[in-house]
Amino acid sequence: MSIQQIGSSWLLHTQNTTYAFGLNSLGLLVHQYWGPRIASPSALPPAPESEGWASFNHPEHLLPEEYPAWAGMKFVEPCLKVTAHDQVRDTVLVFQDSQAEVDDLPHLVITLQDPVYALRVRLHYRVHAESDIIERWAELVNDSAAPIRLERAFSVQWHPPAGTAYRFSHLYGRWNDEFHLVRETLTPGVKVIESRRLTTSHHHNPWFALDGGDASETQGEVWFGALGWSGNWKLCAEDTGFASTRLSLGVNDFDFAWDLQPGETFTTPSAYAGYTQEGFGAASRCLHQLIRSRLIPHPRALHPVLYNSWEATLFDVDAPSQIRLAQLAAQMGVELFVMDDGWFKGRRDDRAGLGDWSPDPLKFPHGLNPLIQQVTALGMRFGLWVEPEMVNPDSDLYRAHPDWVLHFPTRQRRTGRNQLILNLARPDVQAHLNQMLDELLSQHDISFIKWDMNRAVSEPGWPDAPRDPREMWVRYTHGLYHILETLRSRHPQVTFQSCSGGGGRADLGVLRYADQIWVSDNTEAAARLRIQEGFSQLFPAQVMEAWVTDANRGQIPLSFRFHVSMCGSLGIGGNLTQWSPQERAEAAHWIAVYKDIRPIIQFGSQFRLRSPSQSPFSAVQYLSEDGAAGVLFAFRTHLPDPAALPPLRLQGLDPQALYAVEGVPEPHSGAYWMHTGLPLVLGNFESALLRITRLP
């Protein structure tokens, strides 16, 4: 049984873990336990009480409430901060009831209420037993006759066990340099990471891992999680200074306000978190499994090998240039041809055209269909780039609807990459984009959409907003999801890719609509190894699109560049008209190899054997779902000679079973490969792709 009630405690059991909370004697909902699965209820610690008294540190300050509201003598980060109609800013949430929700997963709802102000909080808990993950979100319901202003409405507060000095792992970066992994010990105070940029952002990601400082890739306790949200977000990792740590996560409260009218409900995005005793690698695999089994729209569809024409033609797109590339791509075995930026009306460069999503009459006098027919006649599917959230001031759409962009009337409308942001919070903008994109998909045989978003926000105003204009931050993301959801339901066969100048919109929220993420505009092979390692902390290889481009051409072997991209969903992005017949023949070889191994990479488990950010000799391994087949990629970047490379210790094998590793004459047991390891000889910028086979 996944959800168990014992007295006034609830235990949520996953395959390997238990998460428990309950009521204390004051009727407050407090956290009790999060760790290895509890076999007997007697192992459950009691619900914490607020006992004792001190003028400056009242015990309620330290109570690990599941969803603390700002009130009383609590100075820790709250989940909820509200102002009532009478300006009272003190919210007391007491238990009302619990109920099981009808769902395909075990799902519990705990209702708390502020009895004076009739603010009801419905805390949702869903149990993803097979991935050891708990999903949580909150609904805030105004049952009163007066509005209530929400000033902070986080999704969760997570409580790892008290008494440990935690190390906090998170991801930071910037455009072209995303997903750096950093691990730092928390000290008393609050460490905040966030986005105020309207998107998830390249700079930080709403993902975390906490450990006691001693976890490794393969061992140790790790508490980890992520937020499913593609707008502004905030994560507060707080060491209270009283031997307890808490992690709060949700929609950013910076410049946030939401007027909850009588009868209305505000629903927070979902947050997901889990626990493992098997280190950071296992933590990542739990999230990978969750994403693959519960989030992405087409979990069992193998991604085709794609070609993207962006780096080859930039804005100089026309039918002949695309057909030439398509012919070469098809000869190499590419299955999906994607035309990137530059195809629509007036798009000569990045100064014009965004907003006018009809084919440019000069470049495509007969529309896109003749090109699409030629691509499909070559045996490939067709994909298209769009950037629907944006408008260039030099566009028909902007000339017709200058009021549709985010702006403040008294301020200059500053552009980023010469573009302004359509206010997706507006229902008329949503309706327009829905209609325009629906027409595009209905009138063309398109099976893939690369959805881009290429600037950070400025002047986030909504002058004619019907409510508080600061609701824009949340309504914009809801608008984006609404459009994606509408298109997906009308065109379920279309695969969407989330791109924001590379990895600026990579999160568990957008993955409910998009099957893939464009990880970075940086396609340099060595840089990409590091970026892919960071990305893999939370995202599986299946959603990671990776192109072989002309970056490092002539410097790093094509095989190395292919191996890097084969660690995800393989794509090609170079200018094929410049590639020699030998390069194209070699590319065709690697594409054929990839097609053979891609079920292992896209559906299997991933093991990071050696870190490219910590060593110039790195390796990553994939194992099929049934454990019978694997693939190992090893990379040596620069390492002065002579350098004996340490044996690679494989992971995830059955210790008793026999495995053959390509290139090694003798098979060995799983235990041998995992403990003695595989010797490899690689020169600088050499790589290896070796198959692993379990013998009968």
**Which is catalytic among the residues 132, 253, 341, 521?**
521
Cα-Cα-Cα-Cα torsion 533, 537, 543, 549, nearest 10 degrees, comes to -20
| Only segment of 165-173, 183-191, 494-502, 603-611 that touches ligand DGJ (CB under 6 A) | 494-502
**Does residue 533 interact with ligand DGJ by CB under 6 A?**
no
Show the site string, 450-479: x = touches ligand DGJ by CB under 6 A, - = not.
Answer: --x-x-------------------------
Shortest approach of ligand DGJ to residue 546 CB, angstroms? 12
Select 349 or 439, whichever has its Cβ closest to ligand DGJ: 349
**Does residue 503 interact with ligand DGJ by CB under 6 A?**
no
**Does residue 545 interact with ligand DGJ by CB under 6 A?**
no
Is the Cα torsion angle 34, 35, 37, 42 positive or negative in sign?
Answer: negative
Residue 627: left (phi > 0), alpha (psi -120 to 50), or beta?
A: left
**Which is catalytic among the residues 341, 452, 507, 515?**
452
**Does residue 535 interact with ligand DGJ by CB under 6 A?**
no
User: How many binding residues for ligand DGJ (CB under 6 A)?
Assistant: 11
Select 113 or 500, whichever has its Cβ closest to ligand DGJ: 500
- Asked if 50 contacts 60 with a C-beta cutoff of 8 angstroms, the reply is yes
Report which DSSP code applies to 42: G
Residue environment code for 258-271, b if the CB has 16+ CB neighbours within 10 A, otherwise e: bbbeeeeebbbbbb
Show the site string, 425-454: x = touches ligand DGJ by CB under 6 A, - = not.
Answer: ---------------------------x-x
Select 341 or 389, whichever has its Cβ closest to ligand DGJ: 341
**Does residue 275 interact with ligand DGJ by CB under 6 A?**
no
- Asked if 452 contacts 199 with a C-beta cutoff of 8 angstroms, the reply is no
Shortest approach of ligand DGJ to residue 199 CB, angstroms? 13
Cis before 642 (ω within 30) = yes
**Does residue 521 interact with ligand DGJ by CB under 6 A?**
yes
**Does residue 307 interact with ligand DGJ by CB under 6 A?**
no
Among 166, 518, 617, 635, binds ligand DGJ (CB under 6 A): 518
- Asked if 461 contacts 507 with a C-beta cutoff of 8 angstroms, the reply is no
**Does residue 238 interact with ligand DGJ by CB under 6 A?**
no
**Does residue 340 interact with ligand DGJ by CB under 6 A?**
yes
Report which DSSP code applies to 684: T
Site for ligand DGJ in 574-613 (CB under 6 A): none
- The token pair that represents 499 in the structure block: 């791109």
Q: Show the CA angle centred on residue 116, arms to residues 115 and 120, nearest 5°.
A: 45
Shortest approach of ligand DGJ to residue 337 CB, angstroms? 15
**Does residue 360 interact with ligand DGJ by CB under 6 A?**
no
Residue 271: left (phi > 0), alpha (psi -120 to 50), or beta?
A: beta
Cα-Cα-Cα-Cα torsion 324, 328, 333, 335, nearest 10 degrees, comes to -20
Show contacts of 180-185: CB within 8 Å, 24+ apart: 180/530, 180/534, 180/613, 181/533, 181/534, 181/537, 181/613, 185/213
Q: Residue 76 — φ and ψ, nearest 5°?
A: -80, 170
Query: Would you call 521 a catalytic residue per the annotation?
Result: yes
- Asked if 535 contacts 510 with a C-beta cutoff of 8 angstroms, the reply is no
| Only segment of 142-150, 329-337, 422-430, 499-507 that touches ligand DGJ (CB under 6 A) | 499-507
Collapsing DSSP to helix, strand or coil, 36 comes out as strand
Query: Would you call 253 a catalytic residue per the annotation?
Result: no
Among 10, 154, 207, 310, binds ligand DGJ (CB under 6 A): 310
Shortest approach of ligand DGJ to residue 443 CB, angstroms? 22
- The token pair that represents 318 in the structure block: 């026309």
Shortest approach of ligand DGJ to residue 393 CB, angstroms? 17
Shortest approach of ligand DGJ to residue 358 CB, angstroms? 18
Cα separation, 464 vs 447, whole angstroms: 37
Cα separation, 247 vs 350, whole angstroms: 41
| Only segment of 144-152, 269-277, 497-505, 529-537 that touches ligand DGJ (CB under 6 A) | 497-505
Select 154 or 344, whichever has its Cβ closest to ligand DGJ: 344
Cα separation, 186 vs 189, whole angstroms: 8
Shortest approach of ligand DGJ to residue 338 CB, angstroms? 9
Distances in whole angstroms, Cα of residue 101 to Cα of each of 95, 110, 125, 126:
17, 10, 10, 9
Among 19, 385, 448, 513, binds ligand DGJ (CB under 6 A): 385
What residue is closest to ligand DGJ based on CB? 341
| Only segment of 14-22, 231-239, 496-504, 644-652 that touches ligand DGJ (CB under 6 A) | 496-504
Catalytic annotation, residues:
452, 521
Contact residues toward ligand DGJ (CB under 6 A) are 310, 340-341, 385, 452, 454, 499, 501-502, 518, 521
